[in-house]
Amino acid sequence: MGVGRALSDAKPYAAMVLLQVGFAGMYIVSVASLKRGMNHFVLVVYRNLVATVLMAPFALLFERGVRPKMTVRIFIKIMGLAILEPVLDQNLYYMGAKLTSAGFASALVNILPAVTFLLAVLLRMERVRLRSLHSQAKIVGTVFTVAGAVLMILYHGPVVPLPWSRGSHHDAAAAAGTASSWLNGTVMLVGSCVCWSGFFILQSNTLQSYPAELSLTALICVLGSAMSGAVALVAERRDMSVWVIGFDTRLFTAVYSGIVCSGVAYYVQGLVTRARGPVFVTAFQPLCMMITAVLGSTILKEEITLGSVIGALIIVVGLYALIWGKGGDHAGDGKLQAAVPEKGLPLTNGDGGDGKHVLAVAGGVLVADVEMPAMKDVY
């Protein structure tokens, strides 16, 4: 009994570690393919087509009786999600990673929770109590995260020697082009994070009126494939040869990204989020950055500079401060829910049943806030 319980408790940890390895692999294979000439517009189209083929059967099978009726308002929201995620976010990310490096891109993506927190505050979807220690932690964490990102952008410093790749590096900045191309890539990565954050906020709102996660993901992938395909046809209208891919790394990249990062990741993160909460999932994000840095320096021969290391450490400190602040919110939610009759208790910790997190129970009305992102459903 004790061994079985220990194995059961270890499953979420093992799942998240393996998932971060999967994401790190996506960073490496996508950057390798892009720098070898694969078109990023085409990669986005093929990736979402693969994800559609994977997710659509599950959505049709498991959500046949629970799928809400489609309305014009819901359809417009889903179109907005498809524009934010597959069309803008993925294209900006791939362009930014191509102009910088896989390790730099995976490190900079850690600013996502802070960007989402800022957007949620601006949209009045996140409550900040300046006298609350947890709210102060969220603010300090956001400041640290932004400061670390700025340091990574403005300061490179000397190359950090690594024992497993000594003497085999090439200048990553030179390989990416000039200093201006590196800056352009950084701007694209930041823009990608902003679009990604907007996607999470709109997704949270959409799920309130369309609570069918598999169907929503499949629809986003279908519309994303169509719209990114239209963008690719216009952008590459003079060279249709970019659509041709053989049985090489380009095909592997599209299939791997579609299955692992848009299919398996959605399912695994959903299970772990339901069992342990979104804070638990987010806490593993820096692991992907470290794995990517090791793989990037080994496989892609990328250099890791002192500025990137210091900036990444500051971002991680800010990230965990932000996570701690959000964790305090969930702990407070649990105390409030204890006062609710047993019949009204949700099945997951800190979840109001409709995907929101309870902030107060007053007059029988549940007041909720928007959740910080724990995953990227279709990324």
Please choose, from the candidates 227, 226, 229, 203, the residue with its C-alpha nearest in 3D space to the C-alpha of residue 216: 203
Decide which of 2 and 295 is more confident: 295
Buried b (16+ CB within 10 A) or exposed e, 1-27: eeeeeeeeeeebeebbeebbbbbbbbb
96, 102, 111, 250: which is closest to 172 by C-alpha?
A: 102
| 300 in Cβ contact with 32 (< 8 Å) | yes
Model confidence at 176, pLDDT cuts 50, 70, 90, reads very low
Contact 139, 302 (CB under 8 A): no
Question: How far is 148 from 6, CA to CA, in rounded Å?
Answer: 37
pLDDT > 60? residue 32: yes
Query: In the predicted model, is pLDDT for residue 178 greater than 60?
Result: yes
Q: Is 361 helix (H, G, I), strand (E, B) or coil?
A: strand
- State how far the Cα of 198 lies from the Cα of 205, in Å rounded to an integer: 11
On whether residue 374 sits in a domain, the answer given is: no
Lowest-pLDDT range, 1-5, 54-58, 257-261, 310-314?
Answer: 1-5
| Mean pLDDT in residue range 184-188 | 93
The count of domains in the chain is 1
pTM above 0.75, yes or no: yes
Cβ neighbours around 64 below 10 Å, total: 9
Weakest-pLDDT range from 28-37, 182-191, 262-271, 274-283: 274-283
CA distance 317 to 11: 26
Question: In a 10 Å sphere around its CB, with 0-12 CB exposed, 13-18 middle and 19+ buried, how is residue 253 labelled?
Answer: buried
In a domain, 94, yes or no: yes
- CA–CA dist 365, 180 (Å, integer): 53
Position 376 in a domain: no
Using the predicted structure, report yes or no on whether residue 310 has a pLDDT greater than 90.
Answer: yes
Q: Is residue 73 part of a domain?
A: yes
Query: How many CB atoms lie under 10 A from the CB of residue 234?
Result: 9
Q: Can you tell me the mean pLDDT for 75-85?
A: 94
Average pLDDT score over the chain: 80
pLDDT at 333: 55
Q: What is the pLDDT of residue 352?
A: 40
Is the pLDDT reported for residue 354 higher than 60? no
- The pLDDT assigned to 115 comes to 87
Q: What share of the chain is helix, strand, coil (3-state, %, to 5)?
A: 75, 5, 25
SS3 call for 131 = coil
Tokens of 154: 């403005």
> Tokens 């009204």 sit at which residue?
344
pLDDT number for residue 168: 52
Domain that holds residue 332: 2-369
Q: Distance (Å, rounded) from C-alpha 109 to C-alpha 285?
A: 9
In a domain, 109, yes or no: yes
CB contact set of 355 (below 8 Å; sequence gap of 6+): 204, 207, 208, 211, 371
Give every CB contact of residue 197 below 8 A, 6+ residues apart in sequence. 112, 115, 116, 119, 373
In a domain, 379, yes or no: no
Question: Residue 17 domain-assigned?
Answer: yes
**pLDDT greater at residue 301 or residue 50:** 50
Paired with 305 in beta bridges are 159
Mean pLDDT of 313-339: 72
In this prediction, residue 330 carries a pLDDT of 56
User: Are the CB atoms for 257 and 52 separated by under 8 Å?
Assistant: no
Contact 266, 378 (CB under 8 A): yes
375 within a domain of the structure (yes/no): no
pLDDT given for residue 162 in this prediction? 72
CA–CA separation, 279 vs 273, rounded Å?
A: 8
Distances (CA, A) of 363 to 26, 339, 349, 366: 48, 13, 22, 9
Highest mean pLDDT among 28-32, 285-289, 371-375: 28-32
Q: How confident is the model at residue 42 (pLDDT cuts 50, 70, 90)?
A: very high
Q: Is pLDDT above 80 for 185?
A: yes
CA–CA separation, 147 and 127 (whole Å): 23
pLDDT in tens, 91-137: 999 999 999 888 889 888 888 888 888 888 888 877 788 888 988 99
Helical segments of 131-178, H only: 133-154, 172-176
